[in-house]
Structure 1
């Protein structure tokens, strides 16, 4: 009896301790819940504040936005095609020009988000954009037959000088017009180098870290571009050597031959390339289509400040993806015969483009 009685104080003394522990546990859970809700609210506020560009957190959110824009463009194209009243016909040229801009913005959307998208998703999106361009060009030809519409830049005598950039257009660029008709990617109106032969072309983006750049219709040229920028578009280059600093989005390359490219980017897409070497640093697997005799090696470019530029562009880490090429025209399990690893004994040494002085006969 005494033994049982002596245990009672102990049993009763444990109960207050249990109650205190439970209260502490409940308070801790409440604090964690409040902290979680606070962080969620901060994340929502950050998203609301950064409304300049859409922030996609998943492939699905990008796809939803992409196909919403695609459907809108298709609807507007059909509206132009079916226009019957005089007011709609009067605004037809303006409406078609706006559609061209919308397609360009959709292409830019892919470039800016390609770093996290699967290769197949990027390729499918680009094919959709190509189909939209062809449809719009067909509608332009049907409705405005006197002036054939084209996504390629029109020839003009005007020359625009923007620092180190000169853009010119020339009908006699020396490139195969039949091959040019196969071009499925728009030659953009962004700053760049166009219609040049046998010269050294330089451009420095400094610390701006924004903007697109275009290389088009170059023959036997050397191009040196330093600094970070958003996207690079390359069309119809022959016998050129192109050295480019980090690109924060995509490199889109089409119709090149007998060239050397040394570039870093989040996404690399190559169409119609022949007998060309690519020295790359890329976050995702490079994509090729309709290419042959193309070879790949690691990035070897040097210039003052490149380490910071690579870090700012999230390209400071060597992923080894330069050697993991996806050939979308080769679906067999064996190695594609259209590309290969460039043998080490045939690779160029590191290239330093810190000296940006241009020859007197250049821009």
Structure 2
């Protein structure tokens, strides 16, 4: 009986060893397959990332060869490509090693910085400027050559002001507690700048070439269709009712935007942004859309790229669609 029992034990031991050997072999095969799959993922990711990086590099080089009219849409394309690459990296971080992920993020940061520097060089933001030493004939010449008109509603009387200083662009600068307006003739195909305004309401009926908004607080801005870009930054607790080919919003908070945009809106370093469709109306609006070269039937107001939010699976917490019950239905 003991011999039989020993034989059974030996057989069971051999079976267990064989089973253990097969399990170890299976584990090694699965580990090898997993390693191969990971390597294939890494190789595919790196190839795709490099292709995208090279494409963006080529777009950056091409910037120097384009006309000023082509540049806004070109830089919008670059911004979208960088954002798509950022989202691709974010979606792939489950299998990326930390050092490789950091390397990709450094490349993206460098591309974004180069794009911003190029845009600043080739499409500088027009700012108000005053020359302190302008004298005699220079001032008179400046008054003749600068097409600058300011209209301020004061006690119901509208007045037009001519600014004699050189370097001033069309718009308003350092104004508070006023209702301001510019006519279609004053802004047609021009760069308009609204800067350092507090508690102002501004009406721009017409079709500017570009619109720059900077340091606005507690303001309401109403603009007709802008043929190229609107650049807005440092806006706080304000309402923008705007139409354009592309919108760039930077460093702003608590802003309601009633938007018509034919490409996409891009935002960075912003929060508490609410967006609704453009709904301002005035007599020549349809004609102004035609003159601006914008299609009134194409409005991508929901298409917002947030450079501070790379999670492709979740909506950015920095902006939202404005609730319908909170939208202003008709502007007075």
User: Which residue is equivalent to 1:90?
Assistant: none
SS at structure 1 position matched to 2:251: strand
User: Which residue is equivalent to 2:71?
Assistant: 110
User: Which residue is equivalent to 1:257?
Assistant: 236
User: Which residue is equivalent to 1:223?
Assistant: 202
User: Which residue is equivalent to 1:239?
Assistant: 218
Distance in 1, Cα, partners of 2:120 & 2:63: 18
| Cα-to-partner distance string for 1:285-323 (whole Å, 9 max, x where unaligned) | 111100000000000111111011113324343434111
Measured on the aligned residues, the alpha-carbon RMSD in Å equals: 3.8
Q: C-alpha displacement at 1:350, in angstroms?
A: 2.5
| Cα-to-partner distance string for 1:247-266 (whole Å, 9 max, x where unaligned) | 00000001000000001000
Q: C-alpha displacement at 1:164, in angstroms?
A: 3.4
SS at structure 2 position matched to 1:302: coil
Q: Is the Cα contact below 8 Å between 1:167 and 1:194 reproduced in 2?
A: no
User: Which residue is equivalent to 1:336?
Assistant: 316
Q: C-alpha displacement at 1:192, in angstroms?
A: 1.1
* Counterpart check, 1:66 vs 2:63: yes
Q: Is the Cα contact below 8 Å between 1:206 and 1:226 reproduced in 2?
A: no
Distance in 2, Cα, partners of 1:268 & 1:63: 20
Structure 1 regions of 5+ residues with no counterpart? 1-58, 70-104, 136-149, 169-187, 353-363
TM-score (normalised: structure 2): 0.58
User: 1:152-301, aligned counterparts within 5 Å?
Assistant: 153=128, 162-164=148-150, 189-206=168-185, 209-301=188-280
SS at structure 2 position matched to 1:301: coil
Structure 2 regions of 5+ residues with no counterpart? 1-55, 84-109, 152-160
SS at structure 2 position matched to 1:218: strand
* Counterpart check, 1:347 vs 2:327: yes
> Per the alignment, do residues 133 and 287 of structure 1 end up closer, same or farther by CA in structure 2, a change over 3 Å counting?
closer
Q: Is the Cα contact below 8 Å between 2:255 and 2:272 reproduced in 1?
A: yes
Q: Is the Cα contact below 8 Å between 1:206 and 1:228 reproduced in 2?
A: no
Distance in 2, Cα, partners of 1:109 & 1:328: 23
Distance in 1, Cα, partners of 2:294 & 2:173: 28
> Per the alignment, do residues 307 and 61 of structure 1 end up closer, same or farther by CA in structure 2, a change over 3 Å counting?
farther
Distance in 2, Cα, partners of 1:192 & 1:130: 24
Q: Is the Cα contact below 8 Å between 1:261 and 1:278 reproduced in 2?
A: yes
Q: Is the Cα contact below 8 Å between 1:115 and 1:249 reproduced in 2?
A: no
Distance in 1, Cα, partners of 2:115 & 2:240: 25
| Cα-to-partner distance string for 1:108-153 (whole Å, 9 max, x where unaligned) | 7533x35983642598998436436999xxxxxxxxxxxxxx9965
Instruction: State the aligned residue count.
Output: 225
Q: Is the Cα contact below 8 Å between 1:167 and 1:192 reproduced in 2?
A: no
* Counterpart check, 1:131 vs 2:117: yes
Distance in 1, Cα, partners of 2:169 & 2:186: 18
TM-score (normalised: structure 1): 0.53
